[in-house]
């Protein structure tokens, strides 16, 4: 294979890999934000569960205070019942006693409802706390993996930059200008495999004479449609490498 063409293929592989690494690095703040949002959501679930349980307990205490008030009234009415002089007074006191007892019964029913609800809310709080604990462990692990990936990608980008400089130093400046011009116009991809008479990126069929020349990999030829620099991978080599990736 033409050495310049071989270098251009290697250069394209480096640029593609480097671009992917840079885009992955650029996406890391978003990925970190997603982890932070997940943690915040789990923490909010715990806070909400605690608030609901606290509201339940406050409501129960308020009802218990009302019960105490009605019990005090009931005690007073019972004392009065012992002192009344007429049947009419006795009937009035008994009516008040009945009313107080009814209120106490209704309030005690509400307390029972709050107690049952409290059991459910306590279980919900425990579940939310367990979920938060599990999420914290997972998120900590994901953050460590993200940091390790970041370090690896940064090292990889630096290494590829060095390799690229070495490749560029060995290339004809005119070829390098062509490569850069095409890459700028074609989303960073300046080199394409030609297969079965077709440019595999723009999918336009090549002229037979052009494809026959490309198959020899001895000249620098460009696709008439997309202007990408073309190369050919023999079947045995294609099976072994999968072509340019």
> How would you class 179 by CB atoms within 10 Å of its CB: exposed for 0-12, middle for 13-18, buried for 19 or more?
buried
Query: How far is CA 52 from its chain centroid?
Result: 28
Q: How confident is the model at residue 239 (pLDDT cuts 50, 70, 90)?
A: low
User: What 8-state DSSP symbol labels residue 228?
Assistant: P
Pairing type for strands 229-231 and 191-195 reads parallel
Asked if the model's pLDDT at residue 137 lies above 80, the reply is yes
Q: Measured between alpha carbons, how far is residue 95 from residues 6, 73, 75, 133 in Å? A: 105, 12, 14, 56
Q: What is the pLDDT of residue 84?
A: 83
Each residue's pLDDT tens digit, 188-232: 999 999 999 999 999 999 999 999 999 999 999 999 999 999 999
CATH 1.20.120.160 for the 3-169 domain, yes or no: no
Q: What is the pLDDT of residue 245?
A: 43
Each residue's pLDDT tens digit, 93-103: 899 999 999 99
Q: What is the pLDDT of residue 244?
A: 61
Q: What is the mean pLDDT of the chain?
A: 94
Q: What is the pLDDT of residue 241?
A: 56
Domain ranges of the chain: 3-169, 173-241
Each residue's pLDDT tens digit, 156-178: 999 999 999 999 999 999 999 99
pLDDT (average), residues 40-51:
98
Of 1-15, 125-139, 224-238, the least confident: 224-238
Pairing type for strands 198-199 and 191-195 reads antiparallel
Q: What is the pLDDT of residue 65?
A: 96
The pTM (predicted TM-score) of the whole model is 0.72
Element (H, E) at 192: strand 191-195
Q: How confident is the model at residue 242 (pLDDT cuts 50, 70, 90)?
A: low
Q: What one-character-per-residue DSSP string does 111-168 give?
A: HHHHHHHHHHHHHHHHHHHHHHHHHHHHHHHHHHHHHHHHHHHHHHHHHHHHHHHHHH
Nearest C-alpha neighbor of 229 from the set 217, 241, 243? 217
Q: Which tops the pLDDT comparison, 85 or 243?
A: 85
Distance separating alpha carbons of residues 193 and 134, to the nearest angstrom? 48
pLDDT (average), residues 114-121:
97
Q: What is the pLDDT of residue 1?
A: 86
Confirm if 141 and 90 have CB atoms less than 8 A apart: no
pLDDT (average), residues 18-37:
96
Each residue's pLDDT tens digit, 104-115: 999 999 999 999
């Amino acid at each position: 294979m033409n050495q310049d063409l071989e270098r251009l293929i290697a250069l394209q592989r480096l640029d593609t890999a480097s671009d992917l690494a840079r885009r992955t690095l650029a996406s890391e703040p978003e990925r970190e934000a997603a982890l932070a949002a997940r943690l915040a959501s789990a923490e909010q679930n715990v806070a909400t569960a605690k608030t609901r349980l606290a509201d339940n307990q406050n409501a129960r205490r308020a009802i218990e205070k009302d019960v105490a008030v009605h019990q005090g009234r009931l005690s007073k009415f019972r004392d009065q019942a012992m002192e009344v002089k007429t049947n009419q007074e006795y009937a009035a006191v008994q009516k008040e006693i009945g009313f107080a007892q009814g209120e106490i019964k209704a309030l005690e029913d509400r307390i029972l409802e709050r107690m049952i609800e409290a059991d459910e809310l306590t279980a919900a709080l425990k579940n939310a706390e367990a979920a938060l604990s599990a999420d914290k462990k997972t998120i900590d692990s994901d953050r460590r993996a993200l940091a390790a990936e970041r370090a690896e990608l940064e090292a990889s980008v630096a290494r590829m930059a060095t390799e690229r400089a070495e490749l560029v130093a060995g290339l004809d400046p005119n070829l390098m200008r062509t490569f850069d011009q095409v890459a700028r116009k074609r989303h960073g991809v300046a080199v394409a495999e030609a297969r079965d008479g077709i440019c595999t990126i723009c999918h336009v069929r090549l002229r037979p004479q052009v494809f026959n020349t490309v198959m020899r990999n001895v000249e620098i030829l460009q696709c008439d449609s997309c202007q990408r620099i073309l190369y050919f991978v023999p079947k045995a080599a294609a099976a072994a490498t999968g072509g340019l990736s």
